[in-house]
């Protein structure tokens, strides 16, 4: 599933072709993709509205319109791209929602797995009120991070992936942040020291910023809006590198399951704690 760096890259790639464009119509062929409101009301409300801005909240893409906000969650296989209405693309066979734009262009939402969701709302704060702090914002402080960890006894990786605790971090960047901090992913939160928490606060940000710098990880379906792959997968320390040598110490990278997710770590750089 695309995480914060991938979603941020999509947002940045869509700003130039979308901002200022007017939505002239909408088509869909898979009603479950339209989360709310119902497809008929959705189409009637969005038609005629002009795109004012694009931003991100956690893993959600926010397209600010004149009266509403178009909110899109890519889930596992969602892709967004803007193209001429008469131009065909390889990903078109999985397009289930399409927005017609002025100037003869379209915003297409391709989603092979059909897990992606689209919302139209006049109250983004209410829709996304369940999300925790943005890890790259000023609201994400070391003090707040430590306070949110107090009293927890679950594995630290599981907590990092909880969107109510921290918005935007998933399987990939949790592994990368924990490696950078030298913390075993299965370590119980209550075994971490204040110094551990302070370092992890720093490395979460470092891992995400590195992901953005390299424009996201194209491991499975993720592509940038221009169709090119991101390059983050070429710079990971542990994720996806099972049995390959650790970039720091040379020990073979291990893979286990934590919180029902494949989890990568270096046993030498991230020793277990008991």
The catalytic residues are 2-3, 59, 261
What does residue 50 show for φ and ψ, rounded to 5 degrees?
-100, 145
To which H or E segment does residue 70 belong? strand 69-73
Q: How far is CA 154 from the centre of its chain?
A: 23
């Amino acid at each position: 599933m695309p995480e914060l760096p991938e979603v941020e890259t999509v947002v940045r790639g869509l700003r130039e072709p979308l901002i200022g464009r007017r939505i002239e119509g909408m088509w869909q062929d898979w009603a479950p993709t339209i989360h709310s409101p119902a497809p008929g009301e959705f189409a009637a409300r969005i038609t005629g509205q002009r795109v004012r801005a694009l931003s991100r909240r956690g893993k959600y893409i926010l397209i600010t319109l004149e009266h509403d906000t178009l909110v899109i969650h890519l889930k596992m296989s969602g892709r967004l791209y803007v193209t001429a209405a008469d131009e065909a693309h390889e990903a078109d066979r999985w397009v289930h929602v399409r927005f017609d734009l002025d100037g003869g262009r379209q915003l297409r939402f391709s989603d092979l797995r059909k897990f992606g969701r689209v919302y139209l709302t006049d109250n983004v704060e209410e829709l996304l009120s369940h999300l925790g702090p943005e890890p790259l914002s000023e609201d994400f402080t070391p003090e707040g991070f430590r306070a949110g960890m107090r009293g927890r006894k679950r594995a630290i990786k599981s907590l990092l992936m909880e969107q109510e605790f921290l918005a935007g971090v998933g399987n990939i960047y949790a592994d990368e942040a924990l490696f950078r901090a030298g913390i075993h992913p299965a370590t119980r939160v209550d075994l971490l020291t204040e110094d551990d928490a302070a370092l992890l606060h720093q490395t979460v940000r470092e891992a995400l910023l590195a992901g953005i710098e390299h424009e996201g990880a194209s491991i499975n379906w993720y592509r940038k809006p221009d169709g090119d792959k991101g390059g983050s997968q070429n710079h990971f320390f542990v994720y996806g590198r099972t049995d390959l040598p650790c970039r720091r110490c040379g020990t073979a990278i291990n893979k286990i399951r934590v919180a029902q997710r494949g989890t990568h770590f270096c046993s030498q750089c991230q020793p277990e704690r008991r």
